[in-house]
């Protein structure tokens, strides 16, 4: 996938995204925050306006597309990049993990790996911003924030092998 970026003096920025079928998605971000979405059937074709969004709505839809509200789980590991070096990842806590039955404080997760647990999904319940006294349970889905290496260290820790 190639993304072309160009300045639109006095207007804002234009991004053209090559889609898999050869079409192009054109996103014009105005200095006012407004976004216009166009579609081109091929590189040299005229653009057809699809829709327009306010800055606020575009940001909301952007977070939905990124998976901030719902992340489809197709594997054991889900990764969302916040910045070039910071990730939000989802991990299922294996029943054999040494962390099962420990509080977050007892497990010393931040000290051992550098990640912070920002939420726990336990069945239908979501524990947002769990405190250090929250006990980890088998099959919890742990949502953590950290850099790539810290997330890998956490993945190793929860793997049931006792960590590093």
* 107/120 Cα distance (integer angstroms): 15
pLDDT of amino acid 161: 44
The candidate with the shortest Cα–Cα distance to 54, out of 32, 39, 69, is 32
pLDDT, mean of each 10-residue run, the chain (164 residues): 91 93 93 95 91 92 79 60 79 91 94 94 90 94 91 84 38
Determine the pLDDT at residue 73: 59
Rounded CA separation 152/159 (Å): 11
**CA pair distance 142, 20, nearest whole angstrom:** 34
Helix residue ranges per DSSP H, the chain: 55-66, 104-107, 109-113, 148-158
pLDDT value at position 131? 94
pLDDT of 56 reads 92
Contact call for residues 93 and 100 (beta carbons, < 8 A): yes
pLDDT at residue 163 in the model: 37
Q: Is the dihedral of CA 33, 37, 42, 46 positive or negative?
A: negative
Q: What is the pLDDT at residue 76?
A: 54
């Amino acid at each position: 996938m190639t993304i072309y970026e160009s300045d639109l003096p006095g207007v804002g920025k234009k991004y053209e995204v090559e889609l898999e079928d050869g079409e192009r998605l054109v996103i014009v971000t105005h200095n006012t925050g407004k976004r216009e979405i166009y579609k081109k059937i091929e590189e040299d074709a005229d653009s057809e306006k699809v829709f327009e969004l306010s800055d606020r709505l575009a940001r909301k839809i952007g977070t939905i597309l990124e998976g901030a509200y719902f992340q489809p789980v197709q594997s054991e590991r889900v990764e969302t990049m916040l910045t070039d070096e910071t990730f939000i990842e989802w991990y299922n806590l294996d029943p054999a993990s040494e962390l099962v039955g420990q509080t977050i404080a007892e497990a010393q997760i931040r000290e051992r790996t550098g990640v912070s647990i920002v939420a726990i999904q336990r069945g239908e319940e979501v524990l947002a911003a769990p405190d250090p006294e929250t006990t980890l349970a088998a099959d919890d889905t742990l949502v953590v924030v950290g850099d790539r290496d810290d997330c890998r260290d956490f993945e190793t820790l929860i793997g049931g092998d006792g960590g590093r």
